[in-house]
């Protein structure tokens, strides 16, 4: 459609359009990479404009002017999210920040809580029916222009046409300014690649094939995406599409076919990336762009089964409170979409959320896991909302857990040099017991190779991994679940109480080399419960041999779990220089003796005292 032929009176220069704006106007400006750069520049250059209040989600072009005193006298910027370009200006108080959940920003305009006089937006050229597309910036832009008295649109042939609720008819636009220019590009800067790789290693373990993902703002969530290339049939329902998604689309990792809500469509509100990304979404029916009050609505999000939210944080305190928008009193980013998606994921069937962050900041000088949030820091996500936290040192599962358990989970994934300090601070705050032992001051990434899976005859899966300090509570529950006979066979006494001291000593003596304990975990609802524990420790008889013992939950015995656990322990013991196992077993514990003799046919049995038998087992040659 040729604009001059159908609406010649609406087609004007930028200078003419900007003159329609009155002093004192409240002006909405399109979001992020979809912002109308030419209109912004023209508005700033119109010296007669005074006392203009600008509302914008993500700002880029205005960053060129925020150090100009003349600009600051004439314009007041109010941003819902502080971009990297605007961060220093925010620190210096040159811009204003509006804390708001993304899902609720459109309603601020609709309800006139924030009144708008003018909207400056960027659109694609109209089609044959007179519809322009908001392209890569639908989010809050649709509501912004709908609620403004005067709408000025920059028509840019480089703006993609996107599917969904991105269309606006020329009849709903007051003035058009035709101006072709490259769209704003946003390529996240990759920081410490080794830390990213390690965090991604743990995140990858949490994401199953067929899950629907949301990936939040920030370089870290985006940087994790390339490490999901081994997944299948992922779906997307997210606020922003970035270049990090492209390889997953191109390699058919993201297919959207398993989504329970809006299958075969990648649902989003905006794009921020490169020209390659913008070309990919252009007229691509796979993408379904909707406004933020839809995409970020927790009730809509929850319609996606197995929904996983992935976002980042500035710091996490030992109780699970999350800060995302400020460093102390300095506003740093924004609340954005995190809370919307965390709550939506929690309501989703089999859904959950992940907060990923490096364990330290400032070159390793400070811990991001802290006893309490910094003075002035805002709580974006409450301790009741948080689910899983991941650093380069592991995974902390917090949902439904007590403060004591949270402290142990989070201290365990903190940087090793800060773990003892965190435990001491937790003791001062009476979060944990005074005699609580801290996690080891060691990077335990090497124990990741000691993870295994075993499929039961009924198809259920048991995950085996080394015992961790945070397993203290779960191991207590495991021991109390055992029958009296099973306990007697394991401890050679009718043990009635499994004290904290005993359980602490159990994991405290594990060095994951000469001493090792492996737990078997079975998924029960949202949680994984311990159903088996196997251990070995250096023998008093010979340093070349380790004493071995294990126990399996009663209802899961005779399913091959003990034999599998013994095989795992043997493999690890061999790696750490042992030549064989020694076990002390009650003579009437025929099942256990059978497990050992089946694995080691040449095992030597020696009768001990009090109805016990010692079994000597040499490891077979590789």
What does the DSSP assignment read for 153-178?
EEE-TTSPP-SBS-EEEGGG-SEEEE
pLDDT value for 507: 74
Residue 84 has pLDDT above 70, yes or no: yes
pLDDT tens for 512-528 read: 999 999 999 998 777 78
pLDDT score for 493: 62
pLDDT at 3 exceeding the cut of 70: no
Beta bridge partners of 353: 309
Strand partners, 330: 327
pLDDT recorded at residue 484: 84
pLDDT of residue 153: 97
Nearest Cα residue to 358 out of 283, 418, 424, 278:
418
Q: What are the structural domains of the chain?
A: 3-178 (3.40.1080.10), 193-428 (3.40.1080.20), 451-618 (3.40.630.30)
Long-range contacts of 38-41 (CB under 8 A, 24+ apart): 38/14, 38/154, 38/177, 38/179, 38/181, 39/14, 39/120, 39/122, 39/152, 39/154, 39/177, 40/120
Q: Give the pLDDT mean for 455-477.
A: 91
**pLDDT at position 608:** 73
Query: Distance between CA 23 and CA 11 in Å, rounded?
Result: 23
Q: How confident is the model at residue 622 (pLDDT cuts 50, 70, 90)?
A: low
Query: Is the CB of residue 73 less than 8 Å from the CB of residue 48?
Result: no
pLDDT for the residue 495: 64
- Contact 307/211 with Cβ under 8 angstroms? yes
Beta carbons of 357 and 318 less than 8 angstroms apart: no
Q: Would you state the pLDDT for residue 7?
A: 67
CA 189 to chain centre: 18
pLDDT at 141 over 90: yes
pLDDT tens digits for range 305-364: 999 999 999 999 999 999 988 888 888 888 888 999 999 999 999 999 999 999 999 989
Assign 285 a pLDDT band (cuts: 50, 70, 90): very high
pLDDT at residue 524 in the model: 79
Mean predicted confidence (pLDDT) in 534-555: 92
481 to each of 101, 491, 521, how far by Cα in Å? 44, 15, 14
Provide the pLDDT for residue 203.
95
Listed in order, strand segments (DSSP E) in 486-588 are 516-524, 527-538, 545-552, 580-586
pLDDT at 30 (0 to 100): 94
pLDDT on residue 4:
61
Q: Who's near 176: CB < 8 A, 6+ residues apart?
A: 3, 7, 10, 11, 12, 152, 153, 154, 155, 170
Cα separation values, 120 from 55, 132, 144, 392, Å: 10, 14, 9, 43
Q: Per residue in 589-615, pLDDT tens? A: 888 899 999 999 999 998 877 788 999
Instruction: Say if residue 452's pLDDT is above 90.
Output: yes
> Do 181 and 32 form a contact (C-beta atoms < 8 A)?
no
- 162 pLDDT more than 80: yes
- pLDDT above 80 for 8: no
pLDDT in tens, 366-395: 999 999 998 888 888 999 999 999 999 999
Residue 1 confidence (pLDDT) above 70: no
Name the E strands within 461-569.
461-466, 516-524, 527-538, 545-552
Contact indicator for 199, 223 with CB cutoff of 8 Å: no
* E strand or H helix that includes residue 567: helix 561-575
CA–CA dist 297, 382 (Å, integer): 18
**Could you tell me the CA-to-CA distances from 158 to 110, 250, 276 in Å, in that order?**
29, 22, 12
In this structure, the chain runs to a length of 622
Q: How confident is the model at residue 621 (pLDDT cuts 50, 70, 90)?
A: confident
Q: What is the mean pLDDT of residues 178-202?
A: 89
Percent of the chain with pLDDT over 90: 76
Average pLDDT, the chain: 92
List for the chain the helix, strand, coil content (%; round to 5): 30, 25, 40
H/E run at residue 192: none
Tokens 């965190």 locate to: 422
Q: Is the dihedral of CA 519, 522, 527, 529 positive or negative?
A: negative
Mean pLDDT over 47-53 rounds to: 95
User: What pLDDT shows up at residue 496?
Assistant: 64
| Whether pLDDT at 108 is above 70 | yes
Q: Considering only the C-alpha atoms of the chain, give the largest distance between any 2 of them, rounded to a whole number of Å.
A: 105
pLDDT of 569 > 80? The answer is yes
Mean pLDDT of 152-162: 97
CA neighbours closer than 13 Å in the CB half-sphere of residue 55: 25
CA distance 19 to 145: 18
For residues 232 and 438, which has the higher predicted lDDT (pLDDT)?
232
How does pLDDT run across 400-436, given as a tens digit for each residue?
A: 999 999 999 999 999 999 999 999 999 999 999 998 8
Task: Tell the residue number behind the tokens 């880029």, with chain if given.
Answer: 60
Q: In this predicted structure, what is the pLDDT of residue 506?
A: 76
Q: What is the rounded CA–CA span in Å between residue 313 and residue 324?
A: 5
């Amino acid at each position: 459609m040729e604009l001059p032929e159908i609406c010649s009176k609406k087609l004007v220069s930028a200078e003419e359009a900007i003159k329609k704006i009155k002093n004192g106007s409240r002006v909405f400006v399109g979001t992020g990479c979809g912002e109308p750069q030419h209109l912004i520049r023209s508005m700033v250059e119109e010296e007669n404009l005074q006392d203009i209040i600008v509302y914008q989600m993500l700002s880029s072009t205005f960053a060129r002017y925020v150090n100009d005193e003349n600009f600051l006298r004439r314009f007041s910027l109010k941003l819902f999210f502080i971009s990297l370009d605007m961060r220093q200006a925010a620190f210096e108080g040159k811009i204003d920040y509006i804390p708001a959940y993304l899902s609720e920003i459109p309603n601020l305009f609709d309800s006139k809580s924030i009144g708008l006089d003018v909207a400056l937006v960027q659109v694609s050229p109209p089609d044959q029916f007179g519809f322009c597309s908001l392209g890569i910036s639908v989010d809050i832009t649709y509501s912004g222009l709908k609620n403004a008295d005067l709408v000025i649109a920059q028509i840019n042939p480089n703006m993609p046409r996107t599917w969904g609720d991105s269309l606006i008819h020329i009849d709903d636009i007051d003035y058009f300014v035709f101006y072709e220019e490259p769209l704003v590009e946003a390529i996240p800067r990759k920081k410490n690649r080794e830390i990213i790789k390690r965090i991604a290693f743990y995140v990858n373990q949490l994401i199953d094939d067929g899950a629907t993902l949301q990936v939040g703002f920030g370089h870290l969530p985006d940087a994790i995406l390339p490490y999901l290339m081994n997944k299948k049939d992922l779906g997307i329902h997210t606020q922003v599409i970035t270049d990090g998604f492209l390889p997953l689309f191109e390699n058919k990792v993201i297919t959207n076919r398993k989504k329970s809500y809006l299958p075969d469509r990648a649902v989003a509100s905006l794009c921020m990336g490169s020209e390659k990304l913008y070309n990919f979404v252009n007229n691509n029916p796979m993408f379904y762009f909707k406004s933020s009050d839809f995409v970020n609505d927790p009730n809509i999000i929850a319609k996606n089964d197995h929904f996983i939210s992935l976002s980042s944080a500035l710091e996490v305190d030992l109780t699970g409170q999350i800060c995302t928008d400020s460093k102390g009193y300095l506003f740093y980013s924004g609340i954005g979409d995190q809370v919307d998606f965390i709550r939506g994921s929690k309501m989703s069937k089999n859904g959950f959320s992940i907060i990923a962050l490096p364990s330290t900041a400032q070159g390793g000088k400070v811990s991001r896991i802290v006893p309490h949030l910094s003075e002035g820091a805002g709580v974006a996500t409450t301790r009741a909302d948080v689910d899983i936290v991941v650093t380069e040192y592991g995974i902390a599962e917090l949902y439904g857990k007590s403060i004591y358990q949270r402290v142990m989970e989070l201290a365990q994934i903190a940087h090793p040099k800060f773990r003892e300090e965190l435990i001491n601070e937790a003791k001062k705050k009476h979060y944990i017991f005074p005699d609580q032992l801290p996690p080891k001051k060691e990077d335990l990434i090497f124990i990741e190779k000691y993870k295994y899976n075993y499929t039961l005859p009924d198809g259920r899966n048991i995950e085996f991994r080394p015992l961790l300090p945070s397993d203290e509570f779960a191991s207590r529950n495991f021991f109390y679940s055992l029958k009296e006979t099973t306990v007697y066979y394991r401890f050679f006494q009718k043990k009635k109480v499994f004290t904290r001291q005993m359980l602490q000593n159990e994991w405290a003596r594990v060095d994951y080399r000469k001493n090792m304990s492996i737990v078997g975990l079975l998924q029960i609802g949202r949680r994984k419960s311990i159903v088996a524990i196997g251990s070995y420790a250096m023998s008093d008889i010979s340093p070349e041999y380790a004493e071995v013992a294990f126990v399996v939950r009663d209802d899961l015995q005779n399913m091959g779990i003990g034999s599998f656990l013994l095989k795992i322990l043997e493999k690890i013991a061999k790696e750490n220089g042992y030549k064989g196992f020694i076990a002390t077993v009650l003579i009437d514990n025929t099942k256990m003796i059978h497990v050992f003799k089946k694995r080691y046919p040449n095992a030597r049995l020696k009768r001990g005292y009090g109805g016990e038998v010692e079994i000597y087992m040499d490891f077979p040659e590789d």
